[in-house]
Chain A
Amino acid sequence: MTDTILQATHLKKEFGGVIAVNNVSFDVLRGEIFAVIGPNGAGKTTLFNLISGAYTPTTGEIRFAGKPLDRARPHTRTKLGMARTFQNLRLFNNMSVLENVMVGRHARSRYGILEAALRLPTATREENAIRDAAMQCVARVGLAERANELVGNLSFGGQRLVEIARAVATEPKLLLLDEPGAGLTRHEVEGLDTLIHDLRRDGMTVILVEHNMELVMGIADRVMVLDYGQKIAEGTPPQIQQNKRVIAAYLGEEPFPALRMEAHDDATSS
């Protein structure tokens, strides 16, 4: 399977004269884990907002599974098979864990106001299906026991997992994870690593923006590097780690600290 699920060509996004993303093109292959890295302010989140439809590109085009997305609104993209999480959590704080994830089933269910108001059999049947599917997703991220708690009661790491469960509940072909490792403990990051591998095994393609280089380099098939809105490199993790432009872009920011520490640990233990 080497077909392209997402194809971005010459993407550009301008905010009142400031160019956040400049002429970026890339392909993401079906079933791969594709990471986007870059220093702060490189335009990674803007890129995510373009892909998911929160912004429309100033110029350029995005194709999803071969079809141009044009100005399709985010909820349409979700229906097409795209889901995302947010860098700073955006959970529905007025709902329980399970209800949050049940919202994720919205695009995969259809009963409307009338069926709901009259509580027709179709509504009840679908509601049960929604609950079961959502519960599976909650269980999958290991939160089954806390399903009925208000989402705000969970730890930061727990809330991140709820966001992922909610996104997974939409049955995405392509999952966009915006810094899923930020603010997690080392232990939680390991769990995340396993979870992402699991999701890929189920056939999901994953694009992730991430600062945690250990996670990125360990998990990604390919990495794209952005700097000042421009793509400066793309390749496998080893290629990226040796790329001079990447190292220069990160100069003074210590590009792969975690990785070096890891290498050091390995050397002493062996």
Chain B
Amino acid sequence: MALESQILQFIFAGITVGSIYALIALGFVVIHNVTGIVNFAQGDFAMLGALIAVTLTEKTPIFNRVFIAEFNLPLPLGIALAVLITGALGAIFYLLAIRPAHNASIVSLIIITIGAHFALQGAALITWAADPYSLPRFTTGGPLEIMGAILTRQNLWVIGVTIALLLLLYLFFERTILGKALRACAINRTAARLMGINIDRMALLSFALSAAIGAIAGIVITPANSMSYDSGTFLSLKGFVAAILGGMNSATGAVIGGLVLGILETFGAGMISSGYKDAIAFIVLFFVLFIRMSGIIKLGKSQVEEAGL
């Protein structure tokens, strides 16, 4: 393969995987903006969304193969339901685990979301065992060839769904009252409450929304990469790195962070070492954190707050 087409191939792959990171990162940012919490279970919602979609559309053995689920719903309906169910699970997670701990410290909240990560992973293991599952490709047909590089139709789906979702979210945040209320919480929680916005309901909404976004991310990659109970861990980690790259509080930043991370990862794996593919995200993370810190920490916002201003 010519070098140019090889580079193009890396870019295609990078954008595809980067789109997923971007969606997971977006989930992180939505929750973090509204509640200040980093949800380490974010990637598990992607895993749940995908496995629920598989269960609804295909014959699936569940609970250690004790039962066989045979819903056999059409794929679009199954996917829509899976996204809704996962969104509801996000809301339930908030109600059961986050809301009762409303004034916990950051360390406690980290531990709670880690607990949720364990619980969801364990529940998935009990339900679907350790088997990998995948969905059928959304559309049939051969891959496209552009300048010698190959772009599968599922890649197009991933990129397309990401773009569509971003547009929808943009409209939601900019054009609807609910979206504006969420943004108000992100900008200033106290002021938002004084304006009569129900912070608790907004937090609930942010968890449901993030879980649903996560589910969509999980579903669109499952035809290409199979999904199993423990896939959530790395999706969480990569998504979080992408969110940090993007500044942790901006949706645009999260998307750019995701794409940059995806492309760096595919290039790194392709050109340097595939064994260290998963390390790339963290090397990038250290780099970004320390560069930002050297400039920011002395005058960081938290420091200013802590100094009593």
Interface residues of A (CB under 8 A from B): 15, 45-46, 49, 54-56, 86-88, 90, 178
Q: Does B298 contact A (CB under 8 A)?
A: yes
Contact A87 B308, beta carbon cutoff 8 Å: yes
Contact A46 B298, beta carbon cutoff 8 Å: no
Interface size in chain B (residues, C-beta < 8 A): 7
Q: How far is the CA of A45 from the CA of B307 in the complex (A)?
A: 9
| Given A45-B309, A90-B308; 9 other pairs, CB 8 A cutoff | A15-B304, A45-B308, A49-B308, A54-B303, A54-B307, A55-B299, A86-B308, A87-B308, A88-B308
Q: How far is the CA of A56 from the CA of B299 in the complex (A)?
A: 9
Q: How far is the CA of A49 from the CA of B304 in the complex (A)?
A: 10
Q: Which residue of B lies closest to A55 (CB)?
A: B307
Give the residues in chain A near B303, CB-CB below 8 Å: 54
Give the residues in chain B near A49, CB-CB below 8 Å: 307-309
Q: What does DSSP make chain A's interface, helix, strand, loop or mixed? A: loop
Residues 38-82 of chain B, each 1 if its beta carbon lies under 8 Å from chain A, else 0? 000000000000000000000000000000000000000000000
Q: How far is the CA of A55 from the CA of B299 in the complex (A)?
A: 7
CB distance from B190 to the nearest CB of A (A): 16
Give the residues in chain B near A15, CB-CB below 8 Å: 299, 304
Give the residues in chain A near B307, CB-CB below 8 Å: 49, 54-55
Q: How far is the CA of A49 from the CA of B303 in the complex (A)?
A: 11
Q: Which residue of A lies closest to B307 (CB)?
A: A54
Could you show 18 A-B contacts with beta carbons less than 8 Å apart? A15-B299, A15-B304, A45-B308, A45-B309, A46-B309, A49-B307, A49-B308, A49-B309, A54-B303, A54-B307, A55-B299, A55-B307, A56-B298, A86-B308, A87-B308, A88-B308, A90-B308, A178-B308
Give the residues in chain A near B298, CB-CB below 8 Å: 56
Q: How far is the CA of A55 from the CA of B304 in the complex (A)?
A: 8
Give the residues in chain B near A55, CB-CB below 8 Å: 299, 307
Q: Which residue of B lies closest to A74 (CB)?
A: B307
Q: How far is the CA of A86 from the CA of B306 in the complex (A)?
A: 11
Give the residues in chain A near B309, CB-CB below 8 Å: 45-46, 49
Q: Which residue of B lies closest to A52 (CB)?
A: B307
Q: Which residue of B lies closest to A58 (CB)?
A: B299
Q: Which residue of A lies closest to B309 (CB)?
A: A45
Give the residues in chain B near A87, CB-CB below 8 Å: 308
Residues 284-309 of chain B, each 1 if its beta carbon lies under 8 Å from chain A, else 0? 00000000000000110001100111
Q: How far is the CA of A100 from the CA of B307 in the complex (A)?
A: 19
Q: How far is the CA of A249 from the CA of B308 in the complex (A)?
A: 24
For the complex of A and B, 3 pairs with smallest distance between CB atoms: A54-B307, A49-B307, A86-B308
Give the residues in chain A near B299, CB-CB below 8 Å: 15, 55
Give the residues in chain B near A46, CB-CB below 8 Å: 309
CB distance from A19 to the nearest CB of B (A): 14
Q: Which residue of B lies closest to A54 (CB)?
A: B307
Q: How far is the CA of A49 from the CA of B309 in the complex (A)?
A: 9
CB distance from B13 to the nearest CB of A (A): 39
Q: How far is the CA of A17 from the CA of B51 in the complex (A)?
A: 51
Q: How far is the CA of A55 from the CA of B300 in the complex (A)?
A: 10
Q: How far is the CA of A59 from the CA of B291 in the complex (A)?
A: 23
Q: How far is the CA of A56 from the CA of B303 in the complex (A)?
A: 12
Q: How far is the CA of A81 from the CA of B298 in the complex (A)?
A: 23
Q: How far is the CA of A46 from the CA of B308 in the complex (A)?
A: 9
CB distance from A242 to the nearest CB of B (A): 32
CB distance from A184 to the nearest CB of B (A): 18
Residues 142-174 of chain B, each 1 if its beta carbon lies under 8 Å from chain A, else 0? 000000000000000000000000000000000
CB distance from A78 to the nearest CB of B (A): 15
Give the residues in chain B near A86, CB-CB below 8 Å: 308
Q: How far is the CA of A56 from the CA of B304 in the complex (A)?
A: 12
CB distance from B191 to the nearest CB of A (A): 18
Q: Which residue of B lies closest to A13 (CB)?
A: B299
CB distance from B73 to the nearest CB of A (A): 53
